[in-house]
Amino acid sequence: MIYKGSCHCGRIAFEVEGDIGQVMACNCSMCSRKGSLLWFVPRDALRLLTPEEDLGTYTFNKHVIKHRLCPTCGIHAFGEGSDPAGKRMAAINARCLEGIDLSALSVKHFDGRSL
């Protein structure tokens, strides 16, 4: 299935293809403040509909994850990084996807605070 997503103001728009089996709620210092529900997909499943130069990027700690956000409205739409095997991944904020019943999603809780 193809999902459409965006930030609040619409400056950042994207499509992502896949089936949402589970999302992750992380309690690290970043995720707990953002309140994201993260759906992990191969980076190739994410297609930007706006120019990459329109994205804001924030990194912290080990600087290996690019937290992508809108510089206008501040909404964190997705993150980019690599899995332990080195495969490029995207962490989609399911709260930014259109037509999703968030209450129907299976949520896995991750203790990122302890890393």
| 2-114 belongs to CATH 3.30.1360.120 | no
Per the DSSP assignment, residues forming a β-bridge with 109 are 25
Q: Looking at residue 9, what is its pLDDT?
A: 97
Q: What percent of the chain has pLDDT over 70?
A: 100
Looking at the chain, the whole-number percentage of residues with pLDDT higher than 90 is 82
The 10s digit of each residue's pLDDT in 27-82 is 988 888 989 999 999 999 999 999 999 999 998 887 888 999 999 999 999 999 99
Q: Name the average pLDDT for the chain.
A: 94
What pTM was estimated for this model as a whole?
0.92
As given in the structure block, the two tokens for residue 11 are 């400056």
Q: Which residue has the tokens 């956000």?
A: 69
